[in-house]
Structure 1
Amino acid sequence: MALLRSAVLSLLAILVYASSTAGNHTVSTAECADLSNTTWSEYRHGGKLEVQYLLLTRSNMDCATVFSKESLSDPQRRSPFNSSLPSKVIIHGFRALGTKPSWVKTLAQGLLWAEDVNVLVVDWVYGASFAYNRVVQNYKEVAVQISVLINELITHGSKLESFHFIGVSLGAHVSGFVGTLFGGKIGRITGLDPAGPMFKGADVYDRLDPSDALFVEAIHTDSDYFGISIPVGHVDFFLNGGMDQAGCARSQFASMYGYFICDHMRAVHVYISALNDSCPLTGFPCYSYDQFLNGRCVDCQETFEGTCPRIGLLERSGITVSPLPYQEKVFLLTSASAPFCVHHILVELEVSPLEKSAEVQVTLSSGGHPEMERKLKMHTKENVYKTVMASPVPLCKIHSIQLKNTGSRFYRQGDIRFQSVCISELPRKRETDAVCVNTVYLGRSFPWSHDFVLLCGSY
């Protein structure tokens, strides 16, 4: 399977690159530095391992400078690096086309808007290009080179715990090996959909794991293809179960490049969006995605003592419990576009005993937004059914709920009697947070609906 993925990526690269013009060694203006582009000739003959570093700070947010250990001791270069500030280190991953990653500047500027920090971008595009299996052979050497620079920064006053590595795909495992070289003493590692091929079955020494930093988190968005499916951090966010992200095209008419990497790159775009802190992207600890969708995990009390982890720059993702959890999976739903966050609405149906199996469609409506729908299959041995739905608005702005007996023909189920129909917003702190309607009769051919008049903050 790993070889198949590598072959697909190589074919994709050839098809796209054959129709593109050759790039330059370094794209730059007279003053500003930029990441590398691999030329077609270099790409055909395999990438060479060459690492450079770009520095951005609040004083040069729009104009990166090339950075090296010599920059610290050469007064003529006047590097804007400030050793008294925390440092964010961005590491890209495999470059199927040999081109520079387009998202780096947006991520760097998002970090700088959020915090006054040094942002170091690790440019290893040359070594990250060509065949995937050959690129994987380079990642530890890249980590060694980065560790040399980090050591130099420490001698100039930086603190090891002040470094936050943000690694994308294969870059997450580069970050992990840097952490291994420093005995897990660097401050934080964020893995954005850590690479899966050739790493899922690898020893923890060879991939990202919780021992690589004081705090390790990962965001999973493509765990069924290019991303890794196992937890690799103290806390692992699985968005929409970790695969098949909302808004990522599945049709044959989608661009080949977009079809293959949309899910994989969603972790990057969600993280960039979270830096704006416009709305919370909150995860809920649960054993599996199915259990989460079935309403079995409604709060964070048992695992995190009530404080749910959030994607973004909160210290330890907002986790206050000690000791830290280990490879804790948390789940959340997202929308198809920025800022990606949704409100998690729990629907609970308590049903009187059924004579036959049934299927009920639940629809939530809010003015000006698409309706939210979910079908629930009901059996004779259960009487409580739950489901979690993604809503663009909070509970207080949901106008109505509708139930429809969609299984009446297939299951030949007659009228259904509900003892209660309840909705609430997660995380739920109290049972009384739910809004309920009691004694509901759902006819075989006629849907049931109920309008809500709720005031935000009054329930």
Structure 2
Amino acid sequence: MFCLLLLLLLSFLVQGSDQWHNGDCAELSNTTWLQYRQQRLQLQVQFLLLTRQNPECAKTFGEDSLGKENYFNASKPTKVIIHGYRAMGSKPSWAGQLAHALLGVQDVNVVMVDWVYGASFAYNLVVENYKEVALQISVLINLLQKQGCALESFHLIGVSLGAHVAGFVGTLFEGKIGRITALDPAGPMFKGADTYDRLDPSDAQFVDAIHTDSDYFGISIPVGHVDFFLNGGKDQTGCARSHFASMYGYVICDHMRAVHVYMSALNGSCPLTGIPCSSYDDFLKGRCVNCDAFKGRCPAIGLSEKCGLSVSPVPSQQKLFLLTTSLPPFCAHHILLAMEVSALSKSAEVEVTLTTGSLATKQRLRLQKSASAYTTMMAHPVALCEIHSISMRNTGARLYQQGSVHVKWVCLSHVVANTREEPLCINNVNVRRGAPWSHDLVQVCGLFRR
């Protein structure tokens, strides 16, 4: 019994001497409406540290832990994750997933900013708190500078309202922070705000933003050096469009898609590149098909320096557009469809489908009597020469639209492909109502490659 007690005492002493390494893991906060009412005057910001040495056990991090034994390494870059508004007071479950994705790509310090108590329930009051959160983050960065961290080694990743928190941190450091990434930066109360009060390109040496819900919770204007507008920045594929769908599907899905796409991009399984264009409508009509403005290299979502840009000076508020699929890894190949039809006596509508196995991409083209040439951008999960077939169907109304459409030629080309390929073209196609037309593309592509 004496020996057992002695062993237990020694174990306790060892644990106490190494409390940082073996103490309890810290977690992001939750709050309730009652707690909020009792504590709403207390902002309660805390910082949680994750590294490759403690990837599954976050540690509370701050002034008290500096100068002591901890996992923070001042010689490595530091990623700072900043969540935004928490309508119901719940902790951001995605924050840990994002931290793990970052650690999987780079050996860095990841600091998660937890300000759930000040970010919950009443949005207008939460907006009043965001600059105070930025001040507290700046205090931590100042302390870390004294530990040997350079300002350019900090990369702030802000989600929704957290993007503007990151922007104000950048303002406090006069734009010397290395990088800010904004994941669907918040729109309400910020679209018409002065640049001092919202994120803008002057807040860091490089600012990139991903827009996925610019018609509701996100901001619709460019806020960075490069701004990626996924599917136009509004309605995302796979997200419910009905008020009767689940609350998540209708309200949050578009807004949070930026986070999930960013995490997918970190895995690097496929490129998510944007194409510069003045508007989404021009992009869809095939008027923007290259990245000559960036010396032929398109910016890509992810951690590559300046999104892969090598041009100097870095552009500012450059709109970039790309199409995505509905599921991870979200990457789509941009296929430009162009066709010319013979003169029509009535308006018509043709549905074009690209098929690869069980995968099908559909696009409807409205044909007018006054036009003969049409172009449209389509997103397909596989590359051009992996598409099995193309089919067309006359979907026009029986009485009021064209009964038969003669397509002089239809061509498909891969936009921003790694290799320059000539378009695949098929000539002389008749698409009659009730008689869908289909053609094997594998054979065409094989002939082309010879």
- Fold agreement, TM-score > 0.5: yes
Distance in 1, Cα, partners of 2:383 & 2:265: 18
Write the deviation string for residues 201-235 of structure 1: whole angstroms up to 9, x where unpaired: 00011000011011101111111111111111111
Q: Does 1:266 align with 2:260?
A: no
What does residue 451 of structure 1 align with?
A: 440
| Conservation of the 8 A alpha-carbon contact between 2:33 and 2:121 | no
**Aligned CA distance change for structure 1 residues 30 and 85 (closer, same or farther; 3 Å):** closer
User: Cα 1:97–1:387, aligned 2, differ >3 Å: closer, same or farther?
Assistant: same
C-alpha distance in 1 between matches for 2:403 and 2:243: 41
CA distance in 1, matches of 2:436, 2:248: 44
CA distance 1:72–1:396, change in 2 (3 Å): same
Residue 356 of structure 1 corresponds to: 346
Match of 1:140 in 2: 131
Taking the TM superposition and a 5 Å limit, the aligned residue runs for 1:339-378 are 339-369=329-359, 371-378=360-367
Task: Give the aligned partner of residue 68 of structure 1.
Answer: 62
**Offset of 1:350 from its aligned partner?**
1.7
Is 1:101 the equivalent of 2:65? no
Residue 391 (structure 1) aligned with residue 406 (structure 2) = no
Q: Deviations over 1:73-110 (max 9, x none)?
A: 23xxx111111111100000011111211111110010
Q: Tell me the distance in 1 between the aligned counterparts of 2:74 and 2:218.
A: 34
Counterpart residue type for residue 360 of structure 1 = V
| Distance change (3 Å), C-alpha of 1:448 and 1:258 | closer
Corresponding residue to 2:217 among 208, 223, 226? 226
Letter of the 1:144 counterpart: L
Distance 1:425 1:319, change over 3 A: same
8 Å CA contact retained: 1:396, 1:456: no
Cα 1:40–1:451, aligned 2, differ >3 Å: closer, same or farther? same
Measured on the aligned residues, the alpha-carbon RMSD in Å equals 2.0
Aligned residue for 1:417? Answer: 406
Identify which range, 127-136 or 246-255, moves more after superposition. 246-255
Q: Which residue of structure 2 lines up, in the alignment, with residue 7 of structure 1?
A: none
Q: Is the 8 A contact 2:414 2:421 kept in 1?
A: no
Q: What is the CA distance between 1:292 and its match in structure 2?
A: 1.3
Residue 31 of structure 1 and its aligned partner are, at CA, apart by 1.6
Residue type at the aligned position of 2:339: L
Q: Which amino acid in structure 1 is aligned with residue 441 of structure 2?
A: F
Which aligned pairs between 1:26-175 and structure 2 lie closer than 5 A?
A: 31-45=24-38, 47=40, 48-74=42-68, 78-175=69-166
Q: Which of residues 328, 349, 361 is equivalent to 1:338?
A: 328
Normalized against structure 2, the TM-score is what?
0.90
| CA distance, structure 2, for counterparts of residue 414 and residue 128 of structure 1 | 58
The 8 Å contact of residues 298 and 428 in structure 1, kept in 2 or not, is answered as no
Query: Is the CA contact 1:46–1:130 (under 8 Å) kept in the aligned structure 2?
Result: no
Q: Tell me which amino acid in the other structure corresponds to 2:175.
A: G
Question: Distance between the aligned counterparts of 2:448 and 2:199, measured in 1?
Answer: 42
Residues 350 and 418 in structure 1, CA contact (< 8 A), matched pair in contact too: yes
1:311 aligned residue (272, 291, 301): 301
Q: Shift of the alpha carbon at 1:253?
A: 4.5
TM-superposed deviation, 1:349: 0.5
**Structure 2: which amino acid aligns with 1:380?**
K
Return the TM-score normalized by structure 1.
0.88
Q: Which residue identity lines up with residue 432 of structure 2 in the other structure?
A: G
Query: Aligned-pair distance for 1:414?
Result: 4.5
Identity over aligned residues, as a percent? 64
1:325 aligns with 2:315: yes
Please say if residues 216 and 234 of structure 1, whose CA atoms lie closer than 8 Å, have aligned partners that are also in contact: yes
> Over alpha carbons, which structure has the higher Rg?
2
Secondary structure at the counterpart of residue 81 of structure 1: coil
Q: Which moved more, 1:339-348 or 1:205-214?
A: 339-348
Change (3 A) 1:280 1:410: farther
**Partner Cα distance (1:223, 1:46) in 2:** 32
